[in-house]
Amino acid sequence: MIRTSFCILVVLVIFDFPVIESQSLKSDGTHSARFPTPSRDFVEHAALNCRRQSAILTDFGAIGDGKTSNTKAFREAIRNLTSRAGDGGSQLIVPKGKWLTGSFNLTSHFTLHIKEGATILASQDESEYPMLQVLPSYRDTRFASLIYGSNLTDVVIAGDKGTINGQGKSWWAKYRNGGFKSIQRPMLIEIQSSENVQISNINLIDSPMWSIHPVYCRNVIIKGVKISNPIDSANTDGINPVGRPIEMLLIRRFSCIAPNGAGIAMGSEMSGGIKGVRMEDVTLHNTQSAIKIETAMGRGGYVQNVWARRFTIKTSKYVFLMTGSHKPIPRDGNIPKAKPVVTNINFRDITGENVSTSAKLEGMKSNPFTGVCMSNVSISLSPNASKQQFHCMDIVGESRSVKPQPCSLLPDKHPGVRFECTFPTEKIPIENVVLKRCAGHVF
């Protein structure tokens, strides 16, 4: 699992591309003039696909006063639009207002467009969240997320800075009081076993649990998303993708504040493995750790081929944190002896300031982390920084131009020779996808 934790400004970009297509849409499926004059019912966004069919939430009796439940309206709207999905896809527009609702399911070839000034408010009534089956990756029964979808193709959640508010305070309080011992709280957005998923240009606040949870999905774009959860909220990770395994993930132009967690974390609850992760142009403020890789004996799986470059870190307890002693998951009362593999982990072009400890790197006895590489790393320390800046155990690797001086387990193996840790130059396939410009009135 890769997650962001307590992030205030989040942009997880899988790929960037120009926009190439524009069209105006009527609710009857016909086209109006291209590039119409903007109005109350005008929508515009970049998306994987534009939609031929459109409707507004108020067409289904919704009331945007922040008090009236609109669960029935959301569900009826999407049920109605599902029947039109085969004819160019469908779109539901959420206009300005505060739209209180419980959980609702998305459909394929569908866009949920949240306009600027529109807020989807999560109901605090637990009965409005159906219970879902346990996932193979988790032990607990779970509430359905506020916005949920399973086995979908081509689904978009987009907007022009519209908001989804999880109203999580009551959920956090009950969780801290032991009210959810074997039940997972709802996420804001969970998309499961789906492909071609886009979440872009929206604000997410106060999630009951994780904010965005793509599970067993392929081809996912999360772009231009701002996530805000209070520092004292309970386990409200920003973005938690889970795969079988996770492969070819690109995190670019990402900014985060995480006083009680990691900016980017990998490996705590793997569902097969993590392979081929690229992270670049990242700014992290006030984190417990900037980059964390964690696992334990019994978890199995792997974290391999990870590359990070151009990180700016401002105030952190640790810059690099790697541990093989994270909490194991007991199964049927026994802890399996499956050994996780952590190898080929590369960090380069990283600066940090006001740091307490540069690195804590602890593999496992008889199962070390290998291929750890650091180059061009410059870390300035806080006034009360640890005397020992690199804590290293059961790792194998190398370093070049790292300040403070790294531990002896990260020696300079190429003295006198120009050397940098690797970062792939070839694009991954999804970077070649081009978004379309979708624009139009709804009549």
pLDDT tens, position by position, for the chain (443 residues)? 444 433 433 334 343 332 223 233 333 333 332 323 334 567 888 999 999 999 999 999 999 999 999 999 999 999 999 988 788 999 999 999 999 999 999 999 999 999 999 999 999 999 999 999 887 766 678 999 999 999 999 999 998 899 999 999 999 999 999 988 889 999 999 999 999 999 999 999 999 999 999 999 999 999 999 999 998 898 899 999 998 889 999 999 999 998 988 999 998 766 678 999 999 999 999 999 999 999 888 777 899 999 999 999 999 999 999 998 776 554 544 456 788 899 999 999 999 999 999 999 999 988 999 999 999 999 999 999 999 999 999 999 999 999 999 999 999 998 888 899 999 999 998 888 889 999 876 65
Range of the domain at 403: 247-412
In a shared domain, residues 280 and 354:
yes
Contacts of 426 (CB under 8 A, 6+ apart): none
- The greatest distance separating any two alpha carbons of the chain, rounded to the nearest whole angstrom, comes to 73
Residue 425 resides in a domain: no
Please state, in angstroms and rounded to a whole number, the distance separating the CA atoms of residues 263 and 274: 17
In a shared domain, residues 174 and 301:
no
For residue 191, what is the DSSP state?
E
Contacts of 376 (CB under 8 A, 6+ apart): 348, 349, 350, 400, 401, 402, 420
Cis peptide before 336 (omega within 30 of 0): no
Cis peptide before 245 (omega within 30 of 0): yes
> Which CATH number does the domain housing residue 59 bear?
2.160.20.10
* One-letter-per-residue 3-state SS of 77-137: HHHHHHCCCCCCCEEEEECCEEEEECCEECCCCEEEEECCCEEEEECCCHHHCCEECCCCC
For residue 218, the SS3 value is strand
Number of separate domains in the chain: 2
Residue 423 resides in a domain: no
C-alpha pair distances (Å), 324 with each of 29, 72, 113, 390: 56, 47, 43, 16
- Please choose, from the candidates 277, 261, 379, the residue with its C-alpha nearest in 3D space to the C-alpha of residue 321: 261
Residue 136 resides in a domain: yes
In a shared domain, residues 266 and 164:
no
In a shared domain, residues 69 and 118:
yes
Which residue carries 């959420």 as its tokens? 94
In a shared domain, residues 172 and 77:
yes
pTM of the predicted protein model: 0.88
| 146, 124 contact by CB (below 8 A) | no
| Runs of H (alpha helix) within 305-348 | none
Please state, in angstroms and rounded to a whole number, the distance separating the CA atoms of residues 267 and 301: 9
Element (H, E) at 203: strand 202-205
Residue 309 resides in a domain: yes
Which residue carries 């529109």 as its tokens? 118
| 73, 57 contact by CB (below 8 A) | yes
Contacts of 77 (CB under 8 A, 6+ apart): 55, 57, 59, 60, 62, 92
In a shared domain, residues 153 and 109:
yes
Here the tokens at position 290 are 């900037």
